[in-house]
């Protein structure tokens, strides 16, 4: 009698926001980066992807592997990146089965993967990073693979470059590597979240719309046409990686902040140096930059750092001890927006502006008031977490969010 068991494993995975940016590939097929990068893993209490990976002998072979994202079936065969991840994970499961003949042959069963984000997809919030990290971690758990998060990062990298950094918590470096096969291009945790738990992040969501120039297309354009980019990859980033890792180990926020802002500016300068130029920042983004600089000036020291990925949303890093000065000031301006009441919002419930708003750029204040849709208040957090709440039932049925 055929085994009718539905094998399941579920995990959550975090978003990460780079402070030393990944931009440009030396191998597009293997997703090998031109330069190393470093990111902060954000708390899953605020932003996360939940993924259930399941397989069973009773799943129709004709159906093949399937992926459902936010309730919508995806054409898994149209995504070479997803298929590359599945091939690699199946190969590792086959090794486990070969070493122990008593194990069920899960590698031969069709996969049914269901994933949900609690944030907009393709809106500059690194949804693909959390998504591929969750997919790889969930299937690795389903297959009971022995590989470490760093070893699995090679697989997640093939799905989405920055996904390799979402497989771990705290502060994570993605080493570019030099080998042609990409075996040394992997992510490793520099320090865990517990090393610098006071790190906070305020995300100013400018738009939930998809960006005009997708990241992959933008990278190709920049690498092919920007003279400034070669200088960035070869001369600027290596030194910054060393310096920011040193700042993180020492918990030196002014040094961390200065490097973060400089690297964001340099990355977007490379985008502008492309032909045609790529504009990820808009007037609202520039208003956020102005206000961060104003807050630092009024505070008399660097207490906040802005960074922007390939999109207009500002991510502002600061330490919990200056929450009133940084987040409190933004809340005084943007208190009517959603997002202030999350798990990191208690400190700001009865706080007024930490600095005199009269000393800030009035045009920048108006631009932010008119140009933002919401805020996300969060902090540094952990890597993927295995959970018992599944998006696939014991019979293999895909569950809606209210059926879980």
Q: Are residues 99 and 204 in the same domain?
A: no
- Specify the CATH number for the domain of residue 254: 3.30.70.890
Q: Are residues 218 and 178 in the same domain?
A: no
Whether residue 393 lies inside any domain: the answer is no
Average of pLDDT values for 238-267? 98
Q: Is 270 left (phi over 0), alpha (psi -120 to 50) or beta?
A: alpha
Cα separation, 187 vs 174, whole angstroms:
4
Q: How many CB atoms lie within 10 A of CB 217?
A: 12
DSSP 125-185: S-HHHHHHHHHHHHHHHHTT----HHHHHHHHHHH-GGGGGGGS-SEEEEE----TT-TT-
Q: Are residues 35 and 140 in the same domain?
A: yes
On the question of pLDDT at 402 being above 70, the answer is no
What is the number of domains present in the chain? 2
pLDDT digits (tens, 9 = 90+) for 3-53: 899 999 999 999 999 999 999 999 988 889 999 999 999 999 999 999 999
Domain encompassing residue 35 = 6-193
Q: Are residues 65 and 145 in the same domain?
A: yes
Of residues 133, 122, 154, 159, the one with CA closest to residue 16: 133
Q: Is the peptide bond before 276 cis (omega within 30 degrees of 0)?
A: yes
Average of pLDDT values for 336-364? 86
Q: Which pairs from 61-64 meet CB under 8 Å and 24+ separation? A: 61/110, 63/110, 64/110
Task: Please provide residue 49's backbone torsions phi and psi, each rounded to the nearest 5 degrees.
Answer: -115, 135
- pTM of whole model > 0.75? yes
b/e per residue 98-113 (b: at least 16 CB within 10 A) = eeeeeeeebbebbbbb
Whether residue 400 lies inside any domain: the answer is no
pLDDT digits (tens, 9 = 90+) for 49-100: 999 999 999 999 999 999 999 999 999 999 999 999 999 999 999 999 999 9
* β-sheet bridge partners, residue 117: 49
CA-CA-CA-CA torsion sign (317, 320, 322, 328):
positive
């Amino acid at each position: 009698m055929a085994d009718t068991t539905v094998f399941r494993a579920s995990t959550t995975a975090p978003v990460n926001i780079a402070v030393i940016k990944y931009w440009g590939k030396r191998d597009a097929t293997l997703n090998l980066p031109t330069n190393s990068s470093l990111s902060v893993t954000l708390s899953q209490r605020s932003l996360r992807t939940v993924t259930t990976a399941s397989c069973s002998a009773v799943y129709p072979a004709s159906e093949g592997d399937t992926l459902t994202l936010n309730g919508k079936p995806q054409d898994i065969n149209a995504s070479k990146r997803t298929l590359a991840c599945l091939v690699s994970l199946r190969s590792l499961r086959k090794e486990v089965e070969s070493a122990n003949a008593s194990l069920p042959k899960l590698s031969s069963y069709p996969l049914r993967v269901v994933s949900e984000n609690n944030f907009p997809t393709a809106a500059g919030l690194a949804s693909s990073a959390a998504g591929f990290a969750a997919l790889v971690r969930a299937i690795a758990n389903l297959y009971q693979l022995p590989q470490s998060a760093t070893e699995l990062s090679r697989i997640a990298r093939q799905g989405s470059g920055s996904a390799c950094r979402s497989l771990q918590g705290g502060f994570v470096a993605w080493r570019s590597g030099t080998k042609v096969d990409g075996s040394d291009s992997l992510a490793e945790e520099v320090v865990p979240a517990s090393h610098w738990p006071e790190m906070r992040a305020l995300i100013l969501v400018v738009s939930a719309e998809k960006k005009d120039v997708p990241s992959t297309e933008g990278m190709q354009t920049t690498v092919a046409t920007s003279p400034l980019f070669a200088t960035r990859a070869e001369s600027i980033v290596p030194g910054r990686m060393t310096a920011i890792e040193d700042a993180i180990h020492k918990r030196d926020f002014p040094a961390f902040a200065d490097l973060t802002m400089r690297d964001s500016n340099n990355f977007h300068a490379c985008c502008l140096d492309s032909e045609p130029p790529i504009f990820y920042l808009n007037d609202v983004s520039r208003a956020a930059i102005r206000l961060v600089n104003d807050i630092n000036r009024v505070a008399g020291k660097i207490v906040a750092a802005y960074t922007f990925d390939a999109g207009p949303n500002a991510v502002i890093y600061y330490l919990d001890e200056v929450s009133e000065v940084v987040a409190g000031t933004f809340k005084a301006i943007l208190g009517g927006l959603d997002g202030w009441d999350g798990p990191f919002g208690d400190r700001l419930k009865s706080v007024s502006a930490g600095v005199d708003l009269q000393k800030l750029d009035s045009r920048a204040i108006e631009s932010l008031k008119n140009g933002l849709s919401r805020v996300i208040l969060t902090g540094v957090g952990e890597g993927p977490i295995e959970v018992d709440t599944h998006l696939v039932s014991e019979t293999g049925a895909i569950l809606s969010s209210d059926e879980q």
